């Protein structure tokens, strides 16, 4: 899924200072100081076999740093306690940032072995810190006297975050309950890893190999060429289709062979739910039981209440109310879309009822009939390199930043590109890595994360090193990577997260960049998508890859007219998944929980039409069970209220209006160092208007 931020496996990594410097343990390159330009990671020197030992060294150093804080005989001050915590664990921060990022984007069985070995160590370290009575006593003393400490707003927020994290980490529990919570956390971490590994393996297992060219009927030449190249690379004859979205979605859109569409559709939505060793159903039940035990132990009615207590939404009722207000018009629109698709089938004499594996296919026919528009007409104008240049150009116009490619920076995989980011005065701001194409060692979806986080503390001003990882349609032969509109928006989306990380200007690493409330973070990615499809912007970057012709106004007009097309489907599949996530985490008893039965029950409750599947079914809902978004999938829609409302201001004043952009840049730069809703209202001059989302989706 495109809207994902990679999160660390345990909370401890988030409170660990990330920097490219480190120790100098002989034989372990990752622990040495980088000699690469700008101190960039020297990926080519790092050996998988060294990671486990590097983690052990980093964990030992982190424990020593924490022990020093605990044993400090001086009365607790912000500097000797909170600053010291923020600066602790330099080596562990470096190793964790690099390892866990590469484990997602360039995985191997050896990396998985390291992950399984190190996760209990990190969880135990997490318990040592968050359940330490002496350390918590120092933090609690500061927290109880915070009004008299003369703290800045950023320091106050950092202190409050630490206090809440310690309480939520078990600091107030008795010894027996602390041991129970530590055991739960260890089991949850390992189950999450197993879920993700199963999903990756089950997806890789599926291969549709076509040897009869007649079965390619309906598929555009570009799709055929990509499938032929995939087969060749796999040592197979014919054409190969996989469950990577650039492969399977075009197949569902264009393949005339209905039975093969059904096979691909069921395989895609059934990942993790097959009768094999990769089935995730038992893992889901285990995770939900453990989460419920954790919530109860910490004094909450259920896991949803536990998670939402520190989010902007605050309550299950608030999140549910937002989703249901969108659900009703969305499902009504989806029913209208279903009727239109069934009408095409009937006109063509199909004599069958529309099914899920028909939706994509007949939607393309309807799009062509209504707007004379399809992806194959659009894609030649959206060469990947040009789209990226368009994103860079928007960032320059909005925020005054420039991007210059650096070929002297080490990368972790061939094809990864690196750019130096500077402000309008030529000062270095960040390094930006792009990793855009699918491979067997990369999980599906798209995300932004960091190899190095920003901080300005302890005499060091460390600028971030940010990466965008995606799975776009790869080049084939002489044809470059050409993106469809969804992929184009994904690039701008993840780049929005990237800008959030690159432009941040905080002091404390725990509140820098995307370290904000979960239901606020998607504001910056989702609003950035909106520039991608603005006519004024498209004319600057959308150029035919063969002729260089700027995208014609007639084609832009078609795209604008079709902008609300199929949004009943897109909105209902998204909202249904968010409601599924929320409902799953408000149950009382998971003893006999069956994810298939629960999905069907929620579907019946909502009146969710059977021709549309949840955007993610439970067994492949990585956001919720291995990606840090548990009880958080609603956040995309919560933040969409903000981004739609905010972009309306840009539309009123001009999409590159300097004053508006400068005001919004303050939101981007502040990370989590200020109150998000107060600052949003400062920018907008009013409360966010929920109707803006419905207007943007054509539902009002």
Question: Please, which residues bridge with residue 383 across strands?
Answer: 482
Q: What is the DSSP string of 415-461?
A: T-EEEEEE-TTS-EEEEEEEE-S--TTS-SS-EEEEEE--EEETTEE
In the β-sheet with 465-469, what is the strand arrangement from edge to edge?
A: 4-5, 447-452, 465-469, 428-435, 417-422, 402-405
- What are the Cα distances from residue 400, in Å, to 403, 499, 524, 564, 667? 10, 12, 17, 32, 15
User: Would you state the structure tokens that stand for residue 92, as one six-digit string?
Assistant: 């562990």
Kindly give, in sequence order, each residue whose CB lies less than 8 Å from that of residue 415, ignoring residues fewer than 6 positions away: 435, 436, 437
* Catalytic residue set: 494
Take residue 353 and report the two structure tokens written for it.
Answer: 């009822």
Give dist(CA 112, CA 51) in Å, integer: 11
Strands 239-241 and 402-405 come out as unpaired
Task: Give the H or E element holding residue 468.
Answer: strand 465-469
Question: Which residues are within 8 A (CB) of 45 and not within 5 positions of it... i.e. 6 or more apart?
Answer: 29, 30
Q: Could you identify the residue written with the tokens 């990190």?
A: 122
Q: How far is CA 324 from CA 173, 307, 321, 527, 572, in A?
A: 37, 20, 5, 22, 11
Pairing of strands 428-435, 417-422: antiparallel
Helix axes 258-269, 245-254, angle to 10 degrees: 140
- Give first-to-last CA distance, the chain, whole Å: 26
Q: CB neighbours of 507 closer than 8 A, spacing ≥ 6?
A: 154, 455, 456, 457, 673
Contact 578, 633 (CB under 8 A): yes
Name 528's bridge partners: none
CB 106 within 8 A of CB 440: no
Q: Where are the beta strands (DSSP E) in 167-297?
A: 208-210, 239-241
Query: Under the phi-then-psi rule, with left for phi > 0, alpha for psi from -120 to 50, and beta for the rest, what region is 351?
Result: left
């Amino acid at each position: 899924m495109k809207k994902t931020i990679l999160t660390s496996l345990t909370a401890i990594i988030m409170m660990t200072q990330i920097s490219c410097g480190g120790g100098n343990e002989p034989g372990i390159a990752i622990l040495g100081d980088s000699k690469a330009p700008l101190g960039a990671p020297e990926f080519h020197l790092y050996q998988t076999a060294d990671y486990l030992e590097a983690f052990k060294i980093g964990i030992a150093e982190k424990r020593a740093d924490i022990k020093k804080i605990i044993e400090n005989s001086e009365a607790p001050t912000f500097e000797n306690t909170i600053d010291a915590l923020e600066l602790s664990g330099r080596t562990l921060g470096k190793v964790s940032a690099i390892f866990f990022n590469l484990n997602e984007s360039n995985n191997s069985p050896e990396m998985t072995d390291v992950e399984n070995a190190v996760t209990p160590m990190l969880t135990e370290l997490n318990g040592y810190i968050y359940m330490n009575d002496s350390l918590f006593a120092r933090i609690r003393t500061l927290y109880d006297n915070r009004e008299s400490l003369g703290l800045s707003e950023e320091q106050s927020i950092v202190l409050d975050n630490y206090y809440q994290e310690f309480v939520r980490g078990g600091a107030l529990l008795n010894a027996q309950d602390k041991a129970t919570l530590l055991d739960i956390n260890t089991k949850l971490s390992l189950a999450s890893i197993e879920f993700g590994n199963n999903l990756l393996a089950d997806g890789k297992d599926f291969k549709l190999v076509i040897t009869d060219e007649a079965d390619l009927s309906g598929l555009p030449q570009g799709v055929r060429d990509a499938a032929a190249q995939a087969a060749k690379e796999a040592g197979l004859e014919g054409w190969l289709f996989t469950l990577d979205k650039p492969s399977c979605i075009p197949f569902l859109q264009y393949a005339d062979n209905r039975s093969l569409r059904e096979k691909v559709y069921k395989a895609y939505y059934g990942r993790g739910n097959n009768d094999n060793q990769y089935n995730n159903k038992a893992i889901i039940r285990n995770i939900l039981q453990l989460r419920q035990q954790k919530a109860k132990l910490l004094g909450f009615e259920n896991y949803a209440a536990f998670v939402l207590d520190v989010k902007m939404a605050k309550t299950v009722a608030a999140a549910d109310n937002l989703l249901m207000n969108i659900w009703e018009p969305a499902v009504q629109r989806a029913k209208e879309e279903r009727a239109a698709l069934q009408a095409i089938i009937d006109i063509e004499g199909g004599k069958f009822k529309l099914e899920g594996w028909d939706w994509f296919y007949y939607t393309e026919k309807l799009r062509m009939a209504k707007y004379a528009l399809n992806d194959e007409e659009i894609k030649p104008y959206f060469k990947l390199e040009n789209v990226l240049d368009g994103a860079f150009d928007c960032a320059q116009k909005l925020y005054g930043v420039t991007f210059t490619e650096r070929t002297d920076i080490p990368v972790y995989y061939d094809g990864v590109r690196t750019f130096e980011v500077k402000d309008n005065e030529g000062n270095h701001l960040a390094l930006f890595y792009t990793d855009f194409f699918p491979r067997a060692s990369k999980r599906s979806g798209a995300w932004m994360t960091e190899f190095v986080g920003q901080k300005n503390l302890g005499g060091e001003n460390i600028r971030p090193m940010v990466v965008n990882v995606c799975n776009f349609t790869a080049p084939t032969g002489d044809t470059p990577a050409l993106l469809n509109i969804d992929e184009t928006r994904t690039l701008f989306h993840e780049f929005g997260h990237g800008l959030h990380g690159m432009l941040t200007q905080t002091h404390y690493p725990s509140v820098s960049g995307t370290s904000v409330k979960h239901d606020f973070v998607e504001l910056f990615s989702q609003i950035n998508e909106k520039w991608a499809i603005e006519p004024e912007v498209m004319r600057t970057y959308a150029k035919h890859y063969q002729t260089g012709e700027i995208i014609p106004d007639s084609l832009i007009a078609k795209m604008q007219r079709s902008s609300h097309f199929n949004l009943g489907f897109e909105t209902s599949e998204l909202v249904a998944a968010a409601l599924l996530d929320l409902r799953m985490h408000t149950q009382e008893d998971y003893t006999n929980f069956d994810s298939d039965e629960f999905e069907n029950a929620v579907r019946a409750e909502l009146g969710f039409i059977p021709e549309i599947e949840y955007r993610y079914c439970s067994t492949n809902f990585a956001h919720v069970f291995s990606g840090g978004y548990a009880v958080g999938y609603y956040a995309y829609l919560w933040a969409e209220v903000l981004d739609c409302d905010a972009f309306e201001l840009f539309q009123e004043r001009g999409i590159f209006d300097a004053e508006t952009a400068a005001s919004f840049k303050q939101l981007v730069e502040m990370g989590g160092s200020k109150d998000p809703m107060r600052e949003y209202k400062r920018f907008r001059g009013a409360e966010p208007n929920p109707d803006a989302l419905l207007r943007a989706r054509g539902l009002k």
